[in-house]
Amino acid sequence: MCGIVGYIGKAEAPNILIKGLRRLEYRGYDSAGIAILDEAGKMVVVKSPGKISALNEKARAEWPDALFTQAPTGIAHTRWATHGEPTENNAHPHLDESGEIALVHNGIIDNYLALRARLKDKGHHFHSETDTEVLAHLVGEFYKGDIFHAVCDALHQVEGTFGICVLATREPDRIITARRGSPIAIGVGDGESIVASDASVLLAHTQRVIYLDDNDVAIVKKDSVDIRDLDNIPVNRKIAELEMDASAAEKGGFEHFMIKEIHEQPEALSNAIRGRLDFTHGTAVLSGMGTSPRELSELGRVVMVGCGTSLHAGLVGEYAFEELADIHAEVQQAAEFRYRNPILDRRDFVVAISQSGETADTLAAVREAQQKGAFVMSLCNVVGSTIARETGRGVYLHAGPEISVASTKAFTSQVAVLLMMALKLGRGRRLSREHGLEIAKAIASIPKLVTQVLTQNAHIEELAAKYVKDEHAFYIGRGLMYPVALEGALKLKEISYIHAEGYHAAELKHGPIALISKGIPVIAVACDIPGKDKTLSNIEECRARGARILGIVTEGDTAAAARMDDFIAVPSTHHLVTPVPAVVALQLFAYHVARLRGKEIDQPRNLAKSVTVE
Ligand code: F6R
């Protein structure tokens, strides 16, 4: 989603800000802009629709070279349009009426129309359709020479969500930043400070980071960070060490982040699993869950919440919890959960699944579940993310930064961690040590299984070439293969723009089969798990109507493979683990189809990596 960078330090602010924006490109955006204080203390702004490269060219054409090497302070933004089209006027930073205050903003100001009308009556002129420009003017309206107080006064009037950075010509020694519902991290460097909506931006400067909490406002100078609440009461936020490694955010010789991350999965999964399996007691060690055996035995239900790919991981989790822990388990779309007034009590174990840990609906679902007294924990990848911090207890994936918008290694790591959670819960209830050991061994084998699928990259690329011209595709599966079908279809549609739908194979007859006609591709996830034979029958129904079948089958299952026009064989394993190798085959398939179609794989149109607005 939108990205923020602010820099105050030695020099070269424009270069540093542009580099920072490039780091944020993966989040998805459609325009960008930058505001700098020049030598004369004047605010200079450049904005551009389209890519950062266009912004860079424009800045280089409009600004003197000296500005690039000497200016010590500035703020910048990548915008993902919400209010108004992605035009130059709508791009951030926005200025107040005087032109002396610049502001960049992530989030949505819900009451901006009322505020805009009020400000217009007071003589303010607006040049964009955005809610952000209203906020810039509001800050200007309150400004009496102290930008911190003006920001606090303005934010008191605002309904909605924000992560902001503000710069004022009359106070060039500071950037003001604040958050409510939209992340802000401050890098504490040596004679320089850097503010960003995504901690990966800070890595080039420092490993020392402060995460703001909701309603924190910080006065950021090059050698100090002073954090207060909206009422000017000082608050204490700890400096944490960033655990990321700068090289993890580079492509490392791969053409795209997505294919790099697909190939990183054996390592990511090893990191997710390492030290968490106990082969003596046949269980998992997940101290972050913070549960005693008694608490585990008393739980009545597992409710997972998430969106998109994380929701699909939760669907796999349902099977694992029910089978291993004999507990009712369900996954709910987080936006649906938060608004349906869910029935919860203290015996409900709510697990928020989110790679970014910032998804607005998942965060709201967490707050709703906490409000209702449920036992809430998170399963996040991004360390220090809002959901991880607000839940207080949880398990990190340790999959490393996921830069590609299309999630891959987060999904497989989520599944691995959910299996371990189910194992731990099961052992606290009725699961025997022997059965627990069997599951622990199957989980431990996951990285190797994924490596085996990755060796088929070239074969999958060849297959992709056969399907690249299709404009529709159906993915079908049953049981544990149903979430895999959903996830496979999601991967294909989001990066190749092929219309792909995932269905439960049994649902075909209830409607979708009407769409099956000669030549339509059906990707059938028919690995050898309970229910496979029924899927094979559904495949026959599709074949009878002329569909071309690409099957995902278990290695050695020649009978199943014989029913397919094409197939990818994945290694045989415990049925609960099967979704992982099966989905990796579909990730590779989607990647190669999109690549052959020449799509912008890492930044698909209209999509954002972290959806921090509803
Ligand atoms: C798809 C994808 C999205 C995310 C969804 C939730 O490839 O990445 O569907 O899974 O936006 O994001 P997180 O997991 O960060 O809450």
Q: What is the pLDDT of residue 246?
A: 67
Domain 251-444 CATH (choose: 3.40.50.2300, 3.30.450.20, 3.40.50.10490, 3.40.390.10): 3.40.50.10490
Domain 3-242 in CATH 3.60.20.10: yes
Residue 200 binned pLDDT confidence (cut-offs 50, 70, 90): confident
Our answer on whether the CB atom of 356 is closer than 6 Å to any ligand 1 atom is yes
Q: What is the pLDDT of residue 589?
A: 98
Three-class SS state of 293: helix
Q: Do domains 251-444 and 448-614 have the same CATH topology?
A: yes
Q: What is the pLDDT of residue 255?
A: 93
pLDDT score of 578 more than 70: yes
Nearest CA to ligand 1 atom 10: 309
> Which atom number of ligand 1 is nearest to the Cα of residue 408?
7
Q: What is the pLDDT of residue 302?
A: 97
Is the CB of residue 344 less than 8 Å from the CB of residue 446?
A: no
Our answer on whether the CB atom of 182 is closer than 6 Å to any ligand 1 atom is no
- Out of 355, 382, 412, give the residue to mutate to test ligand 1, the one with the largest number of ligand atoms within 8 Å of its CB: 355
Please report, for the chain, the start and end positions of each structural domain, with discontinuous segments joined by +.
3-242, 251-444, 448-614
pLDDT (mean) for 313-329:
97
Q: What is the pLDDT of residue 84?
A: 83
pLDDT (mean) for 537-564:
96
Our answer on whether the CB atom of 539 is closer than 6 Å to any ligand 1 atom is no
Q: What is the pLDDT of residue 116?
A: 97
Q: What is the pLDDT of residue 242?
A: 85
As a whole number of angstroms, the distance between CA 380 and CA 158 comes to 29
> Which atom number of ligand 1 is nearest to the Cα of residue 312?
10
Our answer on whether the CB atom of 535 is closer than 6 Å to any ligand 1 atom is no
pLDDT score of 314 more than 80: yes
Three-class SS state of 98: coil
Please give the mean pLDDT across all residues of the chain. Answer: 94
Ligand 1 centre and the CA of 181: distance in Å? Answer: 17
DSSP 160-229: B-EEEEEEETT-TT-EEEEEEBS--EEEE-SS-EEEESSGGGGGGT-SEEEEPPTTEEEEEETTEEEEEE
Q: What is the pLDDT of residue 575?
A: 98
Residue 79 binned pLDDT confidence (cut-offs 50, 70, 90): very high
Of 2, 165, 380, 527, which one is the catalytic site residue? 2
Our answer on whether the CB atom of 310 is closer than 6 Å to any ligand 1 atom is yes
pLDDT score of 248 more than 80: no
Phi and psi angles of residue 265, each rounded to the nearest 5 degrees, phi first: -60, -40
As a whole number of angstroms, the distance between CA 412 and CA 570 comes to 15
Q: What is the pLDDT of residue 292?
A: 82
Our answer on whether the CB atom of 610 is closer than 6 Å to any ligand 1 atom is yes
Query: Could you report how far apart the first and last alpha carbons of the chain are, in Å?
Result: 11
Nearest CA to ligand 1 atom 5: 308
pLDDT tens for 46-57 read: 999 999 999 999
Of 260, 409, 599, 609, which one is the catalytic site residue? 609
> Which atom number of ligand 1 is nearest to the Cα of residue 410?
14
> Which atom number of ligand 1 is nearest to the Cα of residue 382?
15
Q: What is the pLDDT of residue 1?
A: 65
Q: Please give the single-letter amino acid code of residue 120.
A: K
10 has catalytic annotation: no
221 has catalytic annotation: no
As a whole number of angstroms, the distance between CA 578 and CA 10 comes to 53
As a whole number of angstroms, the distance between CA 534 and CA 522 comes to 16
Nearest CA to ligand 1 atom 9: 308
Nearest CA to ligand 1 atom 8: 407
pLDDT (mean) for 592-614:
88
Ligand 1 centre and the CA of 310: distance in Å? Answer: 6
Fold of the domain spanning 448-614: Rossmann fold (3.40.50)
Nearest CA to 312 out of 582, 557, 51 is that of: 582
